[in-house]
Structure formats: C-alpha cells, structure tokens
Amino acid sequence: MDNYRSNLRRTIVKIILMGGVVFVLYINLTRLDTPGITPFEIIKGSGKLFLFFIPGMLASIPEDVWLVIFDLFLFLFSLILGVSLFAQFTLPLGRILQRVQAALYLNLYMVGLHGPAIKIDNGEVPGHYRKGQTRGRGAILLDTASAALLRTKTGLTRSIGPGLTFTRRGEYLADATGLHIRVWPNIPLGPRGEFEDPFLEWDERRELLEAYEARQLRRYETSALTRDGIEVVPNISAASRLDLDLQSRWGDISPYYKESRWDRFYQVETKSKFGYNEESVRLAITGESIDPNVTDIDPERRYTPWFQLPAYLTVDLWREYLQKFTFEDLFTRLEQFNEDTGLQVIQKKVHERLTKYWVDEINNVGEPTANKLESREFVILQARGVRAVSSSIRNLHFERKVNQQLEDKWISSWLLRAEDEREYVTRLRNYRADIGAKDGLRAFSFYAARRLSPQLLASPIPKSLQDEIDQMREAVRQMMLGNRMHCIRDPELFERLAGEDRQLTDIINQI
C-alpha cells in the first residue's frame, strides 16, 4: 500500500510539473504573438465571462483575450474528448449507455469527484483501497473468481458478481470474497507434520520455551478423548465454497436498495464457471465473526472469513464423535457399521453433518439408532451462505505408551493373523481355480461344437454298429478340428502350447 501511494504521488507530481511547463510555454508564446496582452488582462477578461448577464460586459473583452479564452476552451474540450475516447478501451463495456457512463466516470475521476475505482482478483481487495471512500461514483471490476458486497453509510445495497459494476453516488465497497473452492488451513490444524510429537515433554536443552508453548497450542487445537479416556490428536482441514442454491431474500433484509429500470446499465455481468449467488455472497460477508483473541493493530485481521468456519466445525464434530468410541474401536471393523472401522465411521458422520440436514444418530456407546438427528452444523453453514465440500481427519497422534501397546498387541497376534490370511488366500485360490476349470470346459465345449457340420447333425440314427462307429469317428474329428482352430487363433493360448497343435493334427489324421 505504501508503494502504491508513493507511486501515485510521483505520478501526480510529474503531471503537475509537465502541466506547469506547458502553461509557461503557452504564456510566453502568447506574449510573443500579442505583446500588449498581460496575464492580468487574461484573468480580468475571464472574470467578465461570469458576468455575461450585465449588458455590454462581453463586448468589453479585448479580441486578444477572446483568442486566449477560445484556446482554453478548445484545450478543455480536447481533454474531455480524449479522456472519453480513452475510457472506451479501459473497461469491458457492452451497451451504449455503459460507454457513456464510463466516459462520465473517468472524467469525474480526473477532477477528483470519484468513488472507488479498483480491480479485484480472486476475492482480494487491493491494499491501497480505503474502505468508506464515498466521495462519488466509481467502477469496480471483478474477475471470474470474485464477488463483492456494496453498501452506503446507512446500510447494505447489493451483491455484485464477476464483471464490471458502476457504483452510485455514496455507494462503496463493503468487502469482497472469492467464488472458488477454498481449502483451509493450508497447513492443517494440529501438529506440524507426521513427525512432530505433541506429547513430548519439554527439554530446555533441545527446545525453546516459545517453541514448546506453540507446539502445545497446536496440540490442543484438535485434541480429543476417546470413551475410555485416551487422548488422540489429528490433523484437520476442510474445503468449502459459497452455496449456489440459496434463495435471495433481498426484499426482506435490505430496504436501502431500490431497483429501477436503469439497473441493467450499472452492471456488465460475466459468466463464471465458479457460479454466483448474490444471497450467499451477502451472508458470507456480513456473517464474518470477530476473533476476540486477535489484538493486531490492523482491524481487518480480527475478522474470521467464511472459509475457516467448516474447519472449526470439523474439530467440534471430531470431539463429539470420538467420545462415543473406545480407542480399540478406531481400528476395528465394526459389524454394526458394515465392517467400517470406528475412524471411518467418524469421518463419514462428520462429512454428513456438514453436508446434510438430517443424519442417522449414534448413541453415546457408538451404536446406531433408528432416530434421525438434525444437523446443527449444516444449519450454521447455510446461515452463512457456505457449503462444505470435504473434510479431512488424518495423521492421528497418540502418547508413546499407547503406540507401544499397539505394537505389542500386533506382535503378539501377528501369527494368528498370518494363518488366517493364508487360509483365506488358499480358499480364494481354490475357488478361483474351480471357476477357471469350469470356464475352460465351457469354452472348450463351445469351440469344439462350432465345427460340427449340419450334415452330421442331421444324419439319421445308425442302423448298424459300423455306422455308429463311423458317425462317432466323424464327430470326434470335427470336434478336434474346432479345438485345434481355437488354439491357433487365440494368441494367449497359442503361446502356452508347446507342440500340442502338432499332436492334435496327428490325432486328426489318425482318425
């Protein structure tokens, strides 16, 4: 912000200096052309223009002064025309009236009678913008991932989406927000990384006191207790976006904004793949809470943005559901939950509470009930115009003695698990082999029977033993031909044959 102001001051100084040089050159050229004219005569003649209603006042202005006044008017007209032409190429304009507005606003900006004139990218308000800037009309340009809320000194006016918006007199930017999916925090709540031990005691020789206190703060961000009193500390984060399905209630909430037939000329909307809902934008911005623990000088840092709320709700739900299960339940497949582990059940229930109005209830001992539970967290998010997309609970941390107990239990039971797994693999292999044998026999019968000729199938019942033998020999020969043809045409089967095709040919010839 300081760099912006210093650059703006330098630009203004350059413009003033350049204007002064041009003015001095013009005065010198005027005096060379008309030596009798003086700056006092020019000023006196210009003053008489404002007294045009007095008879004979305009006629008393000398001809040379008229020429100077004409030059000044020509300069101002050229300046206004040039600025108006330049305005047509600075903004994404559509209708003719919007082009007229752009020219008017830029000329007002040139003389200082302007309101906000800013560009917002990814929902971030530029640092040089001063909120409450209400001197006049302005323009706000938002990219496809941004939306904003406008207000006056007396109340809110309207939400605006991607595109260009012209503000009215006294209307200014309340705040802006992003429309894309937001994952918060970038570094999940809880311990930093998989290798930080939140339960490690302080060692003054290896760790500073400030670092130990910060590690404990991260520990208690997500710390929770199981039903049997074991502390578990995970990493938690959540992804969310503004709700696109909320119905607008502007008529009940914002009486300060009166729509008119000219409204469509005040905004040039742009389609966005992120979607836009004016009610969600209003609720997300006006519903920002204040963190009483933040004592920063900058008041903006005290506000909690909407995309942080799902992560904090995830922490509360994690603590609520963890106390319904024992520590062993977290890693045990539970029959009452379709063989899901307790941790998987918690993750699913947390996601349901964030995304659905009604969820299945779980009692205090981790058993499902037939009742439906109203999700208070879903209602809170809807009231803020937020829709949760996903939540993450991972990297569980326990005390070292608990880890040691898990390792000892695994070592003591590994042989039993290995034998169960071997029995399961053997049973699965036998089952697959039986299915393969049946499939192979079925394929063999199909391809062997394909070569049976219609004449053979239509031949009459043999009357003698020799005719029966001849029919059987011919049937076997044709079936062998079909089997041989299948072996040759199937690449995978042909690779596995080691001379069997020649043996089949010899058998066919013998027949």
Query: Are both 387 and 454 inside the same structural domain?
Result: no
10 Å CB burial of residue 277 (0-12, 13-18, 19+) is buried
**Does the pLDDT value for residue 259 go beyond 60?**
no
In this structure, of 9-13, 100-104, 180-184, the range with the lowest mean pLDDT score is 9-13
What pLDDT score does 315 carry?
96
Residue 321 located in a structural domain: yes
Residue 469 resides in a domain: yes
Which range has the top average pLDDT, 138-147, 396-405, 493-502?
Answer: 138-147
| Pairing verdict, β 358-362 and 156-160 | unpaired
Task: Say yes or no: 344 and 463 in one domain.
Answer: no
Say what percent of the chain tops pLDDT 70: 70
Residues 369 and 286 occupy one common structural domain: yes
Domain match, 236 and 297 both: yes
Q: What is the value of pTM for the model shown?
A: 0.66
- Least reliable range by pLDDT among 178-182, 257-261, 364-368, 498-502: 257-261
Q: Are residues 217 and 327 in the same domain?
A: yes
Choose the final residue of a domain: 356, 374, 398. Answer: 398
Instruction: Determine the average pLDDT of the residues in 382-399.
Output: 91
Q: Is residue 343 part of a domain?
A: yes
Looking at 398, 431, 458, the residue that finishes a domain is 398
- 331 inside domain: yes
**Residue-level pLDDT at 407:** 61
Please check whether residues 228 and 373 belong to one and the same domain.
yes
Residues 228 and 362 in one domain: yes
In a domain, 27, yes or no: no
Going by pLDDT thresholds of 50, 70 and 90, the confidence category of residue 241 is very high
CATH number of domain containing 199:
3.30.479.30
Parallel, antiparallel or unpaired: strands 289-290 and 303-304:
antiparallel
470 and 341 within one domain: no
Domain that holds residue 388: 183-256+274-398
- The 10s digit of each residue's pLDDT in 320-346 is 999 999 988 988 889 889 889 999 999
Residues 387, 489 share a domain: no
The rounded mean pLDDT for the chain is 78
CA nearest to 163, candidates 183, 190, 140, 185: 140
| Number of independent structural domains in the chain | 2
Q: What's the rounded Cα separation, in Å, for the pair 342 and 299?
A: 43
Q: Of 331, 364, 398, which marks where a domain is finished?
A: 398
Q: Which two tokens stand for residue 303?
A: 């506000």
User: Which three-class secondary structure state does DSSP give residue 31?
Assistant: helix
Cis bond before residue 198 (omega within 30° of 0): no
Q: 284 lies in a domain?
A: yes
Residue-wise pLDDT for 32-85, tens only, equals: 666 666 666 767 776 777 676 677 676 777 777 777 777 778 877 887 787 777
Q: Among the listed ranges 117-126, 222-231, 358-367, which one has the minimum average pLDDT value?
A: 117-126
Are 189 and 310 contained in the same domain? yes
Whether 225 and 324 map to the same domain: the answer is yes
Q: Are residues 194 and 310 in the same domain?
A: yes
Using CA atoms, how far apart are residues 438 and 146, in angstroms rounded to an integer?
Answer: 62
Query: Domain for residue 61, yes or no?
Result: no
Query: CA-CA distance, 109 to 117, in Å (whole number)?
Result: 9
Among residues of the chain, what percentage have pLDDT more than 90? 25
Q: Do 90 and 102 contact (CB within 8 A), yes or no? A: yes
Sign of the dihedral through C-alpha 321, 384, 130, 93: positive
Q: What is the pLDDT of residue 257?
A: 47
Does the residue 497 lie in any domain?
A: yes
